[in-house]
Chain A
C-alpha cells in the first residue's frame, strides 16, 4: 500500500473512532510492567504495550557536583533507539529522535522535582550521587516518550542505592535498602493530531502520519511540569487546552500502573 493511501486509510478509520488494532482514538494499549529485569542494574523495568517492549536501567555512581549546584546530586536520562528494535532505526550515534525522547523524559522527571537532588548530596562541593537512567526499546512500536517515561519511573522505583564507604569508594555489588527518594510519579502523555482528530499511544505505523503532537508531563495532582510540541503542523489555543486536560486524565490512568 502506498504511503499516501495508508495515510488516507488511517484517517478514514480515525474519523469512525477506530484504529488498526481495534482501539478507540483515546485509548492506550494494555501496558504491563516488570521490575528487576537486570541483575547488573541498580534498578530496572520492562514495559510492554502491544508489540512494543522497552527496558529502562538505572545505575547510581558517585561523582563530583556541578560547580553551580555544589549541594545537589545529578540525574541523567539517556535514550537510544536501538537498531535491533525496528528496521527504521540505524545504528551509530543517537539520532535526533533519540535525543528529543531522552530530553523530554528527562524534563518531565527533573521538573516534577520528584527526585530530591539535595538528598543525593554526600559531601557538599565534593561528592554526590549521580543517578543515570538508560531507556531503550528492544522492540519499537511507537509512542516512545510516554512508554519510556513509565519504564524510567518504574526502574527508579526499583532502584536501590549502592553502599558508599567512608572514603567515598562505592561497593556496586552490595546495594543498601535505600531507594531513590521519589516524591511524585510524573507521567508524560503525548497527544497526536491527525487533521483535526486527536489520538493517544500510536503504533509505529500510525506514528508515521501525524501532523503535530504535544507531550504534557504532569504531577500526581495533574499540575503540568513539562511540555513539548512536535511535528510540522500547528495547534490552536483551544486544542492545547483540550490536550492538557486529556493528558491530566490519561496521566492519572497511567500513574495507577506505577502504584
Chain B
C-alpha cells in the first residue's frame, strides 16, 4: 500500500472523484439517452436502434452489433476552437468505447441490425472517454437494450507514486511522474473492459491503481443507477396517477 496523503490542487482526497451528476432520457427523439457530468466534463449519449445496418456487408446474421461514435464539439476542448468532425483520436476512442460496452450488451435477438450510440461533449476537462462510457451505459439501459449490467468508467493513475482517482486536466499535466489510466469496469463482476495508460509506471502500481479504482468506482455506478431509477420510477408514478385519475372519472360516470 502506498502513502495516501497527497495534496491535490483542488483539495480532493486521493479517492475522491469530482462532482458527478447524471440524468436519463434527456433526448426525447432518441430510443435511449443520458447526460453524465463529472467535474467540468459533460457527455451526452443518444441510442438509436436496434435498426437495419447499412452498409449490408457489415451485417452479422448471428447478432446485432453495437456502433459507438465519440465526438467533441468544437468548443468543448481547452484553448482554440477544435476542427469539427472525426479525427484519428476520436476514431480510436469510438472503438475503445465500443469495446468497453460490448461485453455487457446482448444483441443476439437482433441479427443483421445495429445499435448506434452517439456521444457528444459540450465541455471537457480530462476523463472524457470515461464520462462518455458512463453516459452511453445509462442511455443503452434507457433504450431497453438487453444488458447483463451497466459499465462504469473512471480515470485512475498516480502522481509521484500515489494512487489517485479521477485525474482532472491539471493533474494530467502534473509536474512530476504521472500516469493516466482510464478504466471501465462491469460492476457486478469487477471485470475490466477498457484499459489504457499513458505515463511511466511500475507494474505493481498499475495493478494497485486498477484495484483501488475498482473499489472506488461504485460511487459512479450508484449515480448511473439512480439516474435510471429516477426516470423509470417517475414514469411508474405517472402511470399510477393516470390510472387513479381514470378510475375516479369512471366511478363518477357510473353514479
Is B123's CB within 8 Å of the partner chain A?
yes
Is A33's CB within 8 Å of the partner chain B?
no
Once the chains are docked, how many angstroms separate the CA of A139 from the CA of B26? 8
**Mask for B121-150, Cβ within 8 A of A = 1, else 0?**
011110000000000000000000000000
Is B166's CB within 8 Å of the partner chain A?
no
What residues of chain B lie closer than 8 Å to A59, measured between beta carbons?
A: 74-75, 80-81
What residues of chain A lie closer than 8 Å to B123, measured between beta carbons?
A: 37-41
Is B199's CB within 8 Å of the partner chain A?
no
- Shortest A259–chain B CB gap in Å is 24
Q: Select the residue from A38, A53, A78, A132 with max chain B CB neighbours within 10 A.
A: A38
Is B77's CB within 8 Å of the partner chain A?
yes
**Mask for B38-51, Cβ within 8 A of A = 1, else 0?**
00101011101001
What residues of chain A lie closer than 8 Å to B85, measured between beta carbons?
A: 93
Is A252's CB within 8 Å of the partner chain B?
no
- CB atoms of A84 and B27 under 8 A apart: yes
Is B203's CB within 8 Å of the partner chain A?
no
Is B190's CB within 8 Å of the partner chain A?
no
Once A91-B69, A132-B81 are accepted as A-B contacts, the answer to whether A37 and B29 lie under 8 Å apart by CB is: no
Is B30's CB within 8 Å of the partner chain A?
yes
**Mask for B6-43, Cβ within 8 A of A = 1, else 0?**
00000000000000000000111110000000001010
What residues of chain B lie closer than 8 Å to A87, measured between beta carbons?
A: 29-30, 48, 51
Is A85's CB within 8 Å of the partner chain B?
yes
Which of under 10, 10 to 19, 20 to 34, or 35 or more describes the interface residues of A? 35 or more
- CB atoms of B79 and A172 under 8 A apart: yes
What residues of chain A lie closer than 8 Å to B48, measured between beta carbons?
A: 83, 87
- Shortest A224–chain B CB gap in Å is 30
- CB atoms of B29 and A139 under 8 A apart: yes
Q: Which of A125-139 contact B (CB under 8 A)?
A: 132, 134, 136, 138-139
- CB atoms of B28 and A41 under 8 A apart: no
Once A40-B40, A87-B29 are accepted as A-B contacts, the answer to whether A136 and B76 lie under 8 Å apart by CB is: no
Is A86's CB within 8 Å of the partner chain B?
yes
Which A-chain residue is minimally distant from B40 (CB atoms)?
A39
- Shortest A252–chain B CB gap in Å is 30
B interface size (C-beta, 8 A) = 33
Q: Which of A33-89 contact B (CB under 8 A)?
A: 37-42, 44, 51, 53, 55, 57-59, 61, 78, 80, 82-87
Residues of B contacting A: mostly: loop
Once the chains are docked, how many angstroms separate the CA of A58 from the CA of B48? 29
Once A86-B29, A139-B27, A140-B29 are accepted as A-B contacts, the answer to whether A57 and B76 lie under 8 Å apart by CB is: yes
Once A78-B84, A80-B84 are accepted as A-B contacts, the answer to whether A41 and B29 lie under 8 Å apart by CB is: no
**Mask for A232-256, Cβ within 8 A of B = 1, else 0?**
0000000000000000000000000
Is B106's CB within 8 Å of the partner chain A?
no
**Mask for A168-196, Cβ within 8 A of B = 1, else 0?**
00101100000000000000000000000
Is B216's CB within 8 Å of the partner chain A?
no
Is A141's CB within 8 Å of the partner chain B?
yes
- CB atoms of A61 and B81 under 8 A apart: yes
- CB atoms of A51 and B46 under 8 A apart: no
- CB atoms of B28 and A172 under 8 A apart: no
- CB atoms of B74 and A139 under 8 A apart: no
- CB atoms of B120 and A136 under 8 A apart: yes
Once the chains are docked, how many angstroms separate the CA of A181 from the CA of B122? 25
20 contacts between A and B (CB under 8 A): A38-B76, A39-B40, A39-B123, A40-B125, A41-B76, A53-B27, A58-B75, A59-B75, A83-B48, A86-B29, A132-B74, A136-B73, A136-B120, A138-B26, A138-B27, A139-B27, A141-B29, A172-B79, A172-B80, A204-B29
Pick the 7 closest A-B CB pairs, nearest first: A57-B75, A59-B81, A84-B118, A41-B75, A84-B46, A38-B123, A134-B74
> Chain A interface (Cβ within 8 Å of chain B)?
37-42, 44, 51, 53, 55, 57-59, 61, 78, 80, 82-87, 91, 93, 132, 134, 136, 138-141, 170, 172-173, 204
Given contacts A57-B74, A139-B29, 5 further A-B contacts (CB under 8 A): A84-B119, A84-B120, A85-B27, A139-B30, A172-B79
